[in-house]
Amino acid sequence: MRWVFVGASTIASQYMLGAVRAQEGGDVAWVASGSAQHGADWASAHNVPKSTTDLAEALADESCDAVYISSTNEKHLPQAMAAIAAGKHVLCEKPLAMSVADAADMVKAAEAAGVTFATNHHLRCSGTHRAMQALIAEGKIGKVLSLRIFHAVHLPPHLQGWRINDATAGGGVIPDITVHDADVARFLLGEDPQRVVAQMAASGMGEGVEDSAMSVWTMPSGAMVMSHESFTHPFAGSGLEVHGTEGSIFAKGVMTQEPVGDVELVTAAGRTAVEVSRHNLYEQGLEDFYSAVAGTGRAAADGPDGVKSLAVAMAVRDAAQTGQAVDVDYGDLT
C-alpha cells in the first residue's frame, strides 16, 4: 500500500514512517504540509519523494491507496473528508476531531464511501494491554470492580507547543491523553463509560488550556474507573491497575509509546509476572489496519472507537468545566 502522509509531524517521523515501511510493500509517497519549506525539509530528511501544500494534488495520485493524518487536531476533519472523497483508506490520529459530531461525520462518510477508517490509538496495540485484556476476558480476576489509570507524565520540551497553549488547535491534556485512557478503559473492560465527574487544572504548563485532569467514570456493569492525566509530572511514572473479585492486575510503565512495562497478576494463588509480547505498537496498529483493508480482520481501533474515546474526553472536560456529573453523549453510536 502506498501512503499519503498529511501533516509533517513528530509522530509521523518518530513512529509512523517506520511502521508503514515495516509492512510488506509499505511506502510513503507524499507528505502534505501547510508549510512548503517545512514539508520539503521533512520529506527530504525522511526520504519521502514528494511534498506539497496542496492536499488535492497528493490525493489525485492514483497509485496511493491510503492516507495517514497527523496534523493538529482542528485539521483532521477537512483533511479526512477530502481523503475519503478521493476514495482513500484513512488512518487518522486521535482525537479524531474537535467535536463528537464532526468525528461521527467522518466515520459515516467513510462508511458511505466504502473505505476503511481507523483511529491511531496505539495503547490497545501493545503486548501489555493485550495481555491484560485477555486476562480479564478469561475471567482470571473474576468480576471487574475497578480500574485505575495513572497517565500523568511530563510533556517533553519539543512537544510543548500547541498542546499547551492553543485551544483552537485542540490543545489541552484532555483531548491529548484522556482520549487514549478512554480507549484503554473501553478496550480492557469491553464496555463504554456512562457517566463522569471530573476536575481539571493548569499546573505549570497550560496557558489557556488544562494541563492536568482527574476524573471518575461509571461503567454499565457498575465497575468504576479512576483516570489521571497530566503534562507536568516528571517523576510520577505511568501505570494501570484492574481490580476484580478474584484477583488484581498491576501494570507499571505501560502508558507509553514503547513496548515496555511490566504486568503482574495477583490472586489467592499468589503474585505472578505475566508474559507479554514486546512488539512495536505502531507496527501492530498498521498490521491490523492492513487486515481491515483486506477484509481479513478489524482495525485495532476503528472509527466508532475514535468517536467514543472523544465522547468520553469531551464529557470529562464538560464535567470539569461545570462541576456537574455528565452522561457521556455518544451521539447516534450505540
Which residues are near ligand NDP by CB under 6 A? Answer: 7-11, 33-35, 38-39, 70-73, 93-94, 120, 122, 159, 161, 176, 257
Q: Which is nearer to ligand NDP, 120 or 215 (CB)?
A: 120
Please report, to the nearest 10 degrees, the dihedral formed by the alpha carbons of residues 274, 275, 279, 280 taken in order. 20
Helix (H, G, I), strand (E, B), or coil: what is residue 234? coil
Closest approach, Cβ 138 to ligand NDP, in A, equals 28
Alpha helices in 147-267 (DSSP H): 162-165, 173, 179-189
Closest approach, Cβ 64 to ligand NDP, in A, equals 17
Alpha helices in 219-264 (DSSP H): none
Radius of gyration of the chain measured on its C-alpha atoms = 19
Closest approach, Cβ 34 to ligand NDP, in A, equals 3
Q: Which is nearer to ligand NDP, 73 or 227 (CB)?
A: 73
Residue 29, H or E segment: strand 27-32
Closest approach, Cβ 272 to ligand NDP, in A, equals 30
Closest approach, Cβ 73 to ligand NDP, in A, equals 5
How many CA atoms within 13 Å lie on the side-chain side of 265? Answer: 23
Q: Which is nearer to ligand NDP, 17 or 64 (CB)?
A: 17
SS3 track for 42-83: HHHHCCCCEEECCHHHHHCCCCCCEEEECCCHHHHHHHHHHH
Q: Which is nearer to ligand NDP, 79 or 244 (CB)?
A: 79
Q: Give the separation between CA 298 and CA 276, rounded to whole angstroms.
A: 22
With a CB cutoff of 8 Å and minimum separation 6, the contacts of 203 are 211, 212, 230, 232
Residue whose C-alpha cell reads 488550556 in the numeric block: 209
Closest approach, Cβ 50 to ligand NDP, in A, equals 14
Q: Which is nearer to ligand NDP, 35 or 44 (CB)?
A: 35
Q: Which is nearer to ligand NDP, 73 or 116 (CB)?
A: 73
